[in-house]
């Protein structure tokens, strides 16, 4: 009897200390997650709130709107996007929209081109056996992927000279071409994974049913690989949208994109934080919307074939 009582007590104590341990662990994990969420979200919060600050609010380090400072339309007014300037003519706003559209054209254009070329390349690497000198399929795939390892700055001089000679400097075409090159490895990577999850018997059935190789690709393989294509497209758009280095290097007045415009918000009075923040918010907004609404498709496309 005594034995049972003691063991019951011990069991009770162990379970209580066990539960405390579990609770403490949970608290620590949540604390770490909240801390990290704060680190990730604070810059965005700062950017959005700074849009509505004036010069002395920024220099005095006021952070919380309505508590530290009163929001002002100054930032948006300098862009021609405040309620009072929205319906008036504004050269700044026109310029902003021009840069915004440049970003859209460059990102979407490059991504579409990369999807077309990359999908066909990935399909070829998946279904056919190639040989270029000593390189077989695996080597060719690695060659494509290795472009991602290359630091872009290495290509700065060559591309500057090349584009000057081809008269592609400060053109959207030039920008689209280089962005296509930039995202092609990722597209090929994602699409190759996609195509590998599609059984080759489906295409064989299509060949027997009356399709040519291209017919099988367009009618059977592509519709099935669509989630991956959408994911690759979205990822490419995001990468191209944020690209600063080549945009700053290869464009000046015509083809300048949003990231370059953000960086150039300096005047004789110092950095105009509020207009920089305003433009940044406008630059981030499309990506945030894409992320929120299309996250499902991105995950689905990237994890296709991960679980059999």
Partner 1 sequence: MASVDVVEVRKAYGSHAVIHGVSLEIEDGEFVILVGPSGCGKSTLLRMVAGLEPITSGDIRIDGRVVNDLPPKDRDIAMVFQTYALYPHKTVAQNMGFALKMRGTPKPEIDARVKAAAEILNLGAYLTRYPRQLSGGQRQRVAMGRAIVRDPKVFLFDEPLSNLDAKLRVQMRAEIKELQQRLDTTTVYVTHDQVEAMTMADRIVVLHDGHVEQIGAPLELYDRPANTFVAGFIGSPAMNLLKGTIKGDSVVTEDGIKLPINGAPPGSDGRPVRFGIRPEHLTLGGTIPAVITVVEPTGSETQVFAKLGEQRIVGVFRDRISGRAGEALPVGIDPRLVHLFDQETGLRLN
Q: Which CB, 64 or 208, lies closer to partner 1? A: 208
Measured from the CB of residue 134, what is the shortest distance to partner 1 in angstroms?
17
Measured from the CB of residue 303, what is the shortest distance to partner 1 in angstroms?
17
What are φ and ψ of residue 169, in 5° steps? -65, 140
Measured from the CB of residue 208, what is the shortest distance to partner 1 in angstroms?
5
In which residue are the tokens 């592609």 written?
Answer: 168
Q: Which CB, 120 or 207, lies closer to partner 1? A: 207
Measured from the CB of residue 9, what is the shortest distance to partner 1 in angstroms?
55
Largest CA distance in the chain: 96
**CA gap 202, 181 in Å, rounded:** 31
Q: Which CB, 220 or 234, lies closer to partner 1? A: 220
72: left (phi over 0), alpha (psi -120 to 50) or beta: beta
How far apart are the two ends of the chain, measured CA to CA in Å? 55
3 state DSSP class of 87: coil
**CA gap 303, 195 in Å, rounded:** 13
Measured from the CB of residue 213, what is the shortest distance to partner 1 in angstroms?
9
Q: Which CB, 202 or 299, lies closer to partner 1? A: 202
Q: Which CB, 149 or 208, lies closer to partner 1? A: 208
The residues binding partner 1 (CB under 8 A) are 199, 201-202, 204-212, 215, 220, 223-224
């Amino acid at each position: 009897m005594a034995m049972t009582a003691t063991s019951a007590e011990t069991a009770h104590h162990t379970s209580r200390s066990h539960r405390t341990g579990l609770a403490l662990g949970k608290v620590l994990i949540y604390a770490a997650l909240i801390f990290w969420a704060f680190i990730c979200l604070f810059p965005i919060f700062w950017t959005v709130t700074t849009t509505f600050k004036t010069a002395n609010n920024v220099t005095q380090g006021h952070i919380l709107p309505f508590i530290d400072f009163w929001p002002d339309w100054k930032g948006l007014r300098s862009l021609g996007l405040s309620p009072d300037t929205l319906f008036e003519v504004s050269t700044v706003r026109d310029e902003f929209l021009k840069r915004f559209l440049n970003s859209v054209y460059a990102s979407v254009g490059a991504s579409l081109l990369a999807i077309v070329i990359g999908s066909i390349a990935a399909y070829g690497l998946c279904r056919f056996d190639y040989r270029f000198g000593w390189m077989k399929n695996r080597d060719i795939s690695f060659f494509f992927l290795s472009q991602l390892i290359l630091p872009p700055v290495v290509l700065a001089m060559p591309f500057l000279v090349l584009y000057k000679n081809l008269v592609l400097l400060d053109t959207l075409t030039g920008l689209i071409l280089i962005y296509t090159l930039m995202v092609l490895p990722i597209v090929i990577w994602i699409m190759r994974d996609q195509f590998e999850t599609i059984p080759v018997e489906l295409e064989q059935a299509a060949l027997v049913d009356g399709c040519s190789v291209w017919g099988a690709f367009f009618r059977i393989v592509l519709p099935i690989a669509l989630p991956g294509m959408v994911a690759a497209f979205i990822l490419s758009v995001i990468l191209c949208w944020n690209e600063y280095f080549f945009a700053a290097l290869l464009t000046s007045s015509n083809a300048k994109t949003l990231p370059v415009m953000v960086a150039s918000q300096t005047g004789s009075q110092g950095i105009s934080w509020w207009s920089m923040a305003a433009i940044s918010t406008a630059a981030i907004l499309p990506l945030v919307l894409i992320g929120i609404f299309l996250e499902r498709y991105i995950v689905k496309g990237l994890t296709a074939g991960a679980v059999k």
